[in-house]
Amino acid sequence: MGRVYNFSAGPAVLPEEVLKEAAEEMLDYQGTGMSVMEMSHRSKAFDKIIKDAEADIRELMNIPDNYKVLFLQGGASQQFAAIPMNLMKNGKAAYIITGQWAKKAYQEAQKYGEAVAVASSADKTFSYIPDCSDLDIPEDADYVYICENNTIYGTKFWQLPNTKGKDLVADVSSCFLSEPVDVTKYGVIYGGVQKNVGPAGVVIAIIREDLIRDDIPATVPTMLKWKTQADNDSLYNTPPCYGIYICGKVFKWIKKMGGLEAMKAHNEKKAKILYDFLDQSKLFKGTVEKKDRSLMNVPFVTGDEELDKKFVAEAKAAGFENLKGHRTVGGMRASIYNAMPIEGVEKLVEFMKKFEAENA
């Protein structure tokens, strides 16, 4: 069997070209006679891999010199703890709750200080982004936290919140490198890479230098202290070497595709095909307020649970994998990250049309 169209929310589809290249280099990476999995993280070959990866992501995202790029482990979820540990000076932070991931980060922060929920869209099952233009942000908050793209619910902040001068911390796990970004608007941008960039096991954190501090509680584990990682160029201990290598290849692929402007155009085109279909369909319906729709995660329902199940099963049989919605939401969700080709979305819509005709 060949490759399927994989609409998984994460770990998710990666560029086929990258996978092929990695396969070719599996046994002998560029004449070293070994796999990247087998080489020392202190070797010359790996040093070049991680330095090139950093240089390429800096170029893609236009990251200013006063931001560090850290390649870490522990998933995005570990940063839910690292963020308050490293950033809470006054012991207070403002959280905007737009879904499960934001809520988890908020709950984790409560262990270390006072996390204040300044806005939430829980009242309508997180199907929209609340108005964040004039929030009641505590005077002494150390930062304002958002989850920029809500993987489960399919919403996206198209406008960043007015943080009233506080540093913005954003979880971009599911929209990483999907469009151009102005890094200077953030104190910290971070995300697990397994949604849009690479294999699970790597988290990339882009942190403004003045937020990488030494004067944090001595009880913060060495590994969770950003300064440890920054001072050692992400090589304090053995990093997730193979994952970083694949991320580096994905960065090169994005560069070859034309960078983040081109990614955005490609993603808009794909999302439009699917949303246009949903907007005129008599059977399928998008679940998110139009103005807040994500380009990456597209949840939809028929309104009939049995029919949803039938759709997911028939889609799977036809080669469209992982369309089942998140267990807390039900229905369907198509994640159409950077590496999902346009044909994948076109063929999915064709299939949905056919299903609609057959089940009218």
Least spacing, CB of residue 205 vs ligand PLP, in Å:
12
75 versus 259: smaller Cβ distance to ligand PLP? 75
Report the interface residues with ligand PLP, using CB under 6 A. Answer: 10, 75-77, 101, 147, 151, 171, 173-174, 192, 195
Q: Which residue matches tokens 């050692």?
A: 232
Least spacing, CB of residue 170 vs ligand PLP, in Å:
10
287 versus 294: smaller Cβ distance to ligand PLP? 294
151 versus 267: smaller Cβ distance to ligand PLP? 151
Least spacing, CB of residue 310 vs ligand PLP, in Å:
27
117 versus 313: smaller Cβ distance to ligand PLP? 117
101 classed as catalytic: yes
Tokens at 18, concatenated: 């990258």
82 versus 332: smaller Cβ distance to ligand PLP? 82
11 versus 319: smaller Cβ distance to ligand PLP? 11
253 classed as catalytic: no
Least spacing, CB of residue 158 vs ligand PLP, in Å:
16
98 versus 163: smaller Cβ distance to ligand PLP? 98
Least spacing, CB of residue 157 vs ligand PLP, in Å:
12
- Annotated catalytic residue, options 92, 101, 249, 324: 101
Least spacing, CB of residue 307 vs ligand PLP, in Å:
27
Q: How many CB atoms lie within 10 A of CB 261?
A: 10
Which residue's CB comes closest to ligand PLP? 75
Q: How many CB atoms lie within 10 A of CB 71?
A: 24
Contact indicator for 234, 240 with CB cutoff of 8 Å: no
Q: Nearest-5° angle of CA 186, CA 338, CA 336?
A: 105
Least spacing, CB of residue 77 vs ligand PLP, in Å:
3
- Annotated catalytic residue, options 195, 225, 270, 324: 195
As a three-state string, the secondary structure of the chain is CCCCEECCCCCCCCCHHHHHHHHHCCCCCCCCCCCHHHCCCCCHHHHHHHHHHHHHHHHHHCCCCCEEEEEECCHHHHHHHHHHHHHCCCCEEEEEECCHHHHHHHHHHCCCCEEEEEEECHHHCCCCCCCCCCCCCCCCCCEEEEECEECCCCEECCCCCCCCCCEEEEECCCCCCCCCCCHHHCCEEEEECCCCCCCCCCEEEEEEHHHCCCCCCCCCCHHHCHHHHHHCCCCCCCCCHHHHHHHHHHHHHHHHHCHHHHHHHHHHHHHHHHHHHHHHCCCCEECCCHHHECCCEEEEECCCHHHHHHHHHHHHHCCEECCECCCCCCCEEEECCCCCCHHHHHHHHHHHHHHHHHCC
- Annotated catalytic residue, options 167, 171, 292, 308: 171
195 classed as catalytic: yes
Residues designated catalytic: 101, 171, 195
